[in-house]
Chain A
């Protein structure tokens, strides 16, 4: 497959997920929490993916679950990238003591594994989808700071930056107008990979039972199915659909990330066969 095909296909899948999330009330035939018939019934015309033990329509829950996953991924990634970019630019541009202080804090922060910390923090605060997204964004920004900073280090001494200073521009102006546009492609790639990472973490939290109890999410669906013996009882329609949904969005985002990376750094094409 050519690079452009991969880019187009993965972008298409991601957009399709977004459309589904936005149009969930229209697409889903039932209220995801409503009792809609007999429990644990296999797929039929009324219930395209059958029902679970509470007689909720699985197809509707799958559609509504898209919202939680995308929200966690994209909100978390937005926070992580905005924060990482801002701190990375300031740290790399000013250098010296500022940079030293920021980098040492990041060094320490990066030794803490994000998932267990997130587990503890989400339990400490009340589990809620926005709380989780913000926490993921904050904890996930550290690595972004490093990546962006390393790029800004070379931009900060670029001739056109010195040239703009020589015209009498302020530091803030230089960072916003001259450095930021040059690192946007990198920040974009970082955003896609962060989103993928955070979606998986979100699913993991849901699976471990500390997802937001008020929203439908795929992690909680998988958790409920496996806890109640979906595998042993052969209730595939209960377990497989949310699993596939996660796999597909995760793959699409990974492809999208790699395609974007190739786009901004053609040398990678040679390395990745």
Chain B
């Protein structure tokens, strides 16, 4: 694929949540680029920091969160932008489909009202105009009988329909970058397929950060894949290469744990994010960890052109 210009650039991002037990580093020195019109799949277990990374981009985390590093969107550092400017970017430039479609719509308003709201906030459309746009958007995400469904309340929508409604809301102002946080979570196989197909259309004219722990969804949609473990990116590269010939033992383990590959789970569980292991964070669970792995923290090195991994197997100084 042709790599065109960088849309979003994350440099040395650290996101920490202060707790009585210490600082939880949910994301630790993450470096990442997202190019124009590419779909980057972000995969990893629950708690690896995927959602936090997505939320940090839009500065939607709680006010007491400690965020360090740089997030550049079209050259502007989002972390140092005043709140007023940030608000103009949210929804208009960068859209987001939140996790938990079940609770992401306000129960007291109709779905149409809430999509119309997204239009009203940035495009100045009001009343019936905004409502018509909402119906168009519902139609665009292939909700049958959109004119009638726009007048229904969220609890009258099925899980798949709510997910589509959220996608419609995120796309209301035609953002050039979309963050989708586990949009296939909790959906049955058929509905999941439909949502993935929908994203296949959505990602044609915009960049998408597709956060998921559904490796198949990532394989279908993503041009590149980033694998997160314990707050760090441990592998990054073209989708085909990372998922068929993974360089990092963690990615290898993830793939081996898939049902069709024999369902062999990785032994142990993810480490504490307050006091992560001193060396390679995956070393306590890694089958091929040597002495050096437990003391030295490997950097992200290029294993093949455009394919990076954070492992002592490749980081030889």
CB distance from A195 to the nearest CB of B (A): 25
- B96 interface neighbour in A96, A166, A169, A181, Cβ under 8 Å: A166
**Interface: A128 (CB within 8 A):** no
A167, B100: Cβ atoms under 8 Å? no
B100, A159: Cβ atoms under 8 Å? yes
Known: A95-B63, A160-B103, A162-B60. A167 touches B108 (CB 8 A): no
B98, A166: Cβ atoms under 8 Å? yes
CB distance from B24 to the nearest CB of A (A): 17
B63, A166: Cβ atoms under 8 Å? no
List of A residues within 8 angstroms of B99 by Cβ: 159
**Contact size class for A?**
10 to 19
Q: How many residues of B contact A (CB 8 A)?
A: 31
List of B residues within 8 angstroms of A126 by Cβ: none
Q: Which of A155-199 contact B (CB under 8 A)?
A: 157-160, 162-170, 177-178, 181-182
What per-residue 1/0 map shows which CB atoms of A124-163 lie under 8 Å from chain B? Answer: 0000000000000000000000000000000001111011
B108, A168: Cβ atoms under 8 Å? no
CB distance from B191 to the nearest CB of A (A): 20
- B60 interface neighbour in A158, A160, A165, A181, Cβ under 8 Å: A165
State in angstroms the CA–CA spacing of A162 and B58 once bound together. 11
CB distance from A264 to the nearest CB of B (A): 13
- A167 interface neighbour in B63, B64, B109, B121, Cβ under 8 Å: B121
Q: Which of B72-125 contact A (CB under 8 A)?
A: 87-92, 95-96, 98-100, 103-109, 117-118, 121-122
A165, A166, A177: which has the most chain B beta carbons within 10 Å? A166
List of B residues within 8 angstroms of A166 by Cβ: 58, 60, 90-91, 95-96, 98, 170
Known: A167-B118, A181-B108. A159 touches B98 (CB 8 A): yes
A96, B64: Cβ atoms under 8 Å? yes
Sample (30) of A-B pairs whose CB atoms are under 8 Å apart: A96-B64, A158-B103, A159-B98, A159-B104, A162-B60, A162-B98, A163-B98, A164-B106, A164-B117, A165-B60, A165-B90, A166-B58, A166-B60, A167-B90, A167-B118, A167-B121, A167-B122, A167-B169, A167-B172, A168-B88, A168-B89, A168-B91, A168-B121, A168-B122, A169-B87, A169-B91, A169-B121, A177-B117, A181-B106, A182-B106
Q: Which 7 A-B pairs have the closest CB atoms?
A: A168-B91, A167-B91, A168-B90, A159-B103, A159-B104, A160-B106, A166-B96
